[in-house]
C-alpha cells in the first residue's frame, strides 16, 4: 500500500470512528458533515436510510458514552483514487453486526457514501 493509500484509509477510519462517537452522533450538523449528500444505508434492521432519515437513529441515543460501540477487525482498502472500502465488526450493547462502508473524497473532505450492516451470529 502506498503512503497516499494509507492516508486515505486512515481518513476513512477516522471518519467512521467519529460517526460512532456519541458526541458527534448527538449533533445532526456534525453527522451531516461526514455523510455524502447521496448517502444510502442498508441497516442491520433491513431498513433503507438516507442522509436525512439516518439522523433519527444517530441522535436517538442508541450509542452513549456509558455504552460505546466496541469496534474490532477494522480494515480498509483503496478501491480507486478517492474511494475507500472499510469493513469491521461492531458490538453495540450485545448486538453484533458486521459493517461495511464506502468513503469517497469530496471537495469538503472524506464523506461516507454507502453503509451496510449485517447481523452477525
Is residue 1 classed as helix, strand or coil in its secondary structure? coil
* pLDDT tens-digit map of 2-56: 999 999 999 999 999 999 998 998 899 999 999 999 999 999 889 999 999 998 8
Name the burial class of residue 54, with classes exposed (0-12), middle (13-18) and buried (19+) by CB atoms within 10 angstroms of its CB: buried
Per-residue buried b or exposed e for 11-30, using 16+ beta carbons within 10 Å of the residue's own CB: bbbebbeebbebebbeeeee
* pLDDT (0 to 100) of residue 99: 96
* Strands, E assignment, the chain: 35-42, 48-50, 70-80, 83-92, 95-106, 109-119
Residue 26 — left, alpha, or beta (φ > 0 → left; ψ -120 to 50 → alpha)?
alpha
d(CA 64, CA 73): 21
pLDDT at 61 (0 to 100): 66
Among 104, 105, 72, residue whose Cα is nearest residue 87: 72
| The pLDDT of residue 57 | 80
Amino acid at each position: 500500500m502506498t503512503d497516499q493509500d494509507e492516508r486515505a484509509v486512515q481518513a476513512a477510519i477516522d471518519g467512521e470512528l467519529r460517526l460512532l462517537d456519541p458526541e458527534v452522533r448527538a449533533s445532526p450538523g456534525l453527522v451531516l458533515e461526514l455523510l455524502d449528500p447521496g448517502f444510502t444505508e442498508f441497516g442491520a434492521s433491513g431498513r433503507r436510510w438516507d442522509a436525512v432519515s439516518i439522523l433519527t437513529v444517530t441522535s436517538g441515543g442508541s450509542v452513549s458514552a456509558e455504552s460505546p460501540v466496541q469496534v474490532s477487525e477494522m480494515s480498509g482498502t483503496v478501491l480507486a483514487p478517492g474511494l475507500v472500502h472499510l469493513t469491521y465488526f461492531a458490538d453495540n450493547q450485545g448486538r453484533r453486526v458486521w459493517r461495511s462502508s464506502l468513503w469517497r473524497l469530496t471537495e469538503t473532505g472524506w464523506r461516507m457514501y454507502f453503509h451496510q450492516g449485517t447481523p452477525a451470529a
